[in-house]
Amino acid sequence: MAPLNIAIIGSGLSGLSLALALHQQNIPCTIYESHLAPLNIGGAVMLSPNALKILDALGVYERVRAKGYNFETLEYKNGTGELLEVYEFGGKEKYGYEALRIYRTVLIDELLAMLKEKNIAIVFGKKFTKVVAETEKDVTWDFQDGSSQTADILVGADGIHSTVRRYLYPDLVPAFTGMAGITAAVPTAQLKLPPGYHIPVTIMTPSGGFKRMGDGFDRAGWERYMADKDALVAFLQEDASGFPAMVQNAVSHIPHAKINVWPFYVVPKLERWASEKRRVVILGDGAHAIPPSAGQGINQAFEDGYMFALLLGQADKVEMQDALSFWQEYRQERIAKVMWVNRQIDLRRMPKEAQTSGEVIEEIELSWLYLPNFKDDVESWVRGKLEKGN
C-alpha cells in the first residue's frame, strides 16, 4: 500500500525538487518552511549533468537553461596564466548536458512557480520543532506555533543544521571545518578579460587564497562575521596584488548585496537516513554535507529526492523498509565516490609543500557521476525483488 501523504520540512532546493518529483509519481505532499518566504542564501550554484537530467525529467531544465551560464569545463590556472588542470563540469556530447551556473534565487523562483502551477502546497512560517509520536503507520510532530500535524512520512529537507535529524541523532552537531568560502558576484565586464579568455576559471597563487580564521568562528561567530560586509570586502581585496589584473579588477568594486559566506561544516557518514519505523527520513544537506570542492552539494541533494520519489512510486510492489535500505545504500555509495573526487581536487589545489599525507593524485573519471540512470536502477531493483518474491 503506497504512502499517501508526505510532509517535507524545508523549502530549500532539496525540498522543492522533492515535491515536484513526488508529484510526478502522483504522491501528494505539503512543504513546511520556517521562514515567511523562501530562504535566499544567495549566490549561484553549479549544476552538473547528473542533476540536470533530473531537472529535465521534472520539466525544470527547459525553463531555467537560458537563465544561467552554460559551460563545459572549469580551468585551473596559476598567477602567470599557465593552465594547470581542466575539470569537466558537463559536456553536451559526452554527458548529454552542458553544466549550468545559475543564481540560486532564479532556480528557487522557477521551482516555486512550478509548485504553484501544480497546486502543491507550501506553508511558510511553520517551524518544525520535534517529532512527538511515530507508529508503524504514521508520524506526528509539533511546530513552534503550538500546532501539530500528522503524515504518512515526514521528510527532513531542512539543511545542514537539520532539526528533523535530531529525532534520529539527538546529539549530532555538524563539525565546522575551520574553512569558509567568501564569494562575491560582479559583472563580467568589470573583469576586463583578455579576448577569448575561458571562464569559469580558478586562479591559484602560492598562498592559494587561504587564510586561517581564529577560534570563536562557530556558527554564531560566522553569522556575526557575515553581517559585516565591509570586513568581507576588505578580506576579498586583501591579497589581490598577488593575483593577475583581472582578479584585481574583480575585487575593485564589490556590491555588498552580492557577497556570500559559506562556512564548511561536515556531517559524518550516518548509519541511517530513516527512523526504525521508517516514517521519518532525512535527505539533502541534513543527511550528508558534502564539502564544496567538486561542487556536488546541491547536485547530490537533487539525486536524493528524485530517487526517493521513484522508490515511493513503487511502494505498492515492494516493502518500504527494503526500498529505503536500497535508497540509502545506493545514495551513500555515490556520495562516498563524490568524497573521493573532492579529495582528489583538494590534492590538486593544495600547495605542493602542504601535500604531506602521502595520498596519490589519480585521474578523475566522471562518467559514473554524470551518466547515472536512476529510473533503470530503481526498476531493475524492483524487478529483482519481485522475482525473488520480495
Ligand X SMILES: Cc1cc2nc3c(=O)[nH]c(=O)nc-3n(C[C@H](O)[C@H](O)[C@H](O)COP(=O)(O)OP(=O)(O)OC[C@H]3O[C@@H](n4cnc5c(N)ncnc54)[C@H](O)[C@@H]3O)c2cc1C
Question: Interface residues with ligand X (CB under 6 A)?
Answer: 9-15, 32-35, 39, 41, 43, 45-46, 127-128, 157-159, 163, 260, 262, 284-285, 295-299, 301
Q: How far is the CB of 359 from ligand X (least distance, A)?
A: 23
Nearer to ligand X, 34 or 328 (CB): 34
Residue nearest to ligand X (CB): 12
- Would you put residue 196 in left (φ > 0), alpha (ψ -120 to 50) or beta? left
Nearer to ligand X, 42 or 96 (CB): 42
Nearer to ligand X, 318 or 341 (CB): 341
Q: How far is the CB of 194 from ligand X (least distance, A)?
A: 25
Q: How far is the CB of 1 from ligand X (least distance, A)?
A: 28
Nearer to ligand X, 94 or 127 (CB): 127
Q: How far is the CB of 30 from ligand X (least distance, A)?
A: 12
Q: How far is the CB of 48 from ligand X (least distance, A)?
A: 8
Nearer to ligand X, 5 or 40 (CB): 40
Q: How far is the CB of 334 from ligand X (least distance, A)?
A: 14
**Phi then psi for 177, rounded to 5 degrees?**
-80, -10
Nearer to ligand X, 43 or 96 (CB): 43
Q: How far is the CB of 160 from ligand X (least distance, A)?
A: 6
Residue 130's alpha-carbon distances to 127, 140, 143, 263, 318, in angstroms, are 10, 9, 7, 26, 29
Nearer to ligand X, 41 or 234 (CB): 41
Unique residue bearing C-alpha cell 595520498: 359
Using CA atoms, how far apart are residues 282 and 291, in angstroms rounded to an integer? 18
Q: How far is the CB of 131 from ligand X (least distance, A)?
A: 12
Nearer to ligand X, 14 or 314 (CB): 14
Q: How many residues does the chain have?
A: 390
Q: For the chain, give the secondary structure using H, E and C.
A: CCCCCEEEECCCHHHHHHHHHHHHCCCCEEEEECCCCCCCCCCEEEECHHHHHHHHHCCCHHHHHHHCEEECEEEEEECCCCEEEEEECCEHHHHCECEEEEEHHHHHHHHHHHHHHCCCEEEECCCEEEEEEECCCCEEEEECCCCEEEECEEEECCCCCCCCHHHHCCCCCCEEEEEEEEEECCCHHHHCCCCCCCCCEEEECCCCCCCCCCCCCCHHHHHHHHHCHHHHHHHHHHCHHHCCHHHHHHHHCCCHHHEEEEEEEECCCCCCCECCCCCEEECHHHCCCCCHHHCCHHHHHHHHHHHHHHHHCCCCCCCHHHHHHHHHHHHHHHHHHHHHHHHHHHHHHCCHHHCCCCCCCCCCCCHHHHCCCHHHHHHHHHHHHHHCCC
Q: How far is the CB of 135 from ligand X (least distance, A)?
A: 22
Using CA atoms, how far apart are residues 218 and 238, in angstroms rounded to an integer? 23
Q: How far is the CB of 205 from ligand X (least distance, A)?
A: 22
Cis? peptide before 200, omega within 30° of 0: yes
Beta bridge partners of 78: 204
